[in-house]
Amino acid sequence: MPKLGLGLSLPQTRVASAPAPGVPPSLLLHMNGSNGSDTFTDSSLNNFTIDVIGATISTAESKFGGASGLFESGDYIYKDTSVDELKFPGDFCVEMWYYPLALETNQCLYDASLIDQEVAREDAFALAIDADGQMYWFHDGTANNTSASPTVNQWNFIAVTRSGSDLRVFLDGVEVLLLTNSVDFSRGGAIIGTITETPGAFSLNGYVDDVRVTKGTARYTSNFTPPTAQFPNP
């Protein structure tokens, strides 16, 4: 993916954002289960089937629930059938915990697409980390840098939200990117751990816990305190 710099300084204040209790998640992956399992359960009301390539449940590290998803070279999981619940014509929120073991390579946290789709991605986006360890938001051929890096060997809370035309990326509750965006993201898929155009590339190297995707609300529109417990089931 090409990279275009857009560095922003980190705000220092931390203000809790109001939750959106009336909007259930479209996708909710607690990453819980027995060590070595390749079953990733969607605890949302949709109960989507999650396809798995290489990734496993691990009890070696966990933010909540005693387990997390282990992603190594070439591992990824995805919901590859287009569904309305994962299409974002308006407000949305994608959030997760990530425990990177290393940040020397490009890594994709979330791709709002389907496997093996065209590169142009006018109707999709990706949230990724570059080879320098900095997070960026990618859409329609442009990578928007945050100048913010997750910390290796510890849990980091990462979120991307859109409220109206304000699209934000947060790291540990601090806004690190603000863009104007009102695109209808209509592919309706979800990929964790790789990019649509080259499955197996941009692999994560670490653990992922408590992934929540919500259509219809941004959840966070200003700095906030990261969750202190596992996301509740709807």
Buried b (16+ CB within 10 A) or exposed e, 36-50: eeeebbbbbebebeb
> pLDDT tens digit string along 26-74?
999 999 999 999 999 999 999 999 999 999 999 999 999 999 999 999 9
Contact, 165 vs 171, CB < 8 A?
Answer: no
Residue pair 173/167 in contact (Cβ under 8 Å)? The answer is: no
Question: pLDDT tens, 205-225?
Answer: 999 999 999 999 999 999 999
Using CA of residue 115, residue 119, residue 123, residue 129, what is the dihedral sign? Answer: positive
Task: Output the pTM of the full model.
Answer: 0.90
Q: Could you tell me the domains of the chain? A: 27-215 (2.60.120.200)
Nearest to 72 by CA among 156, 194, 190: 194
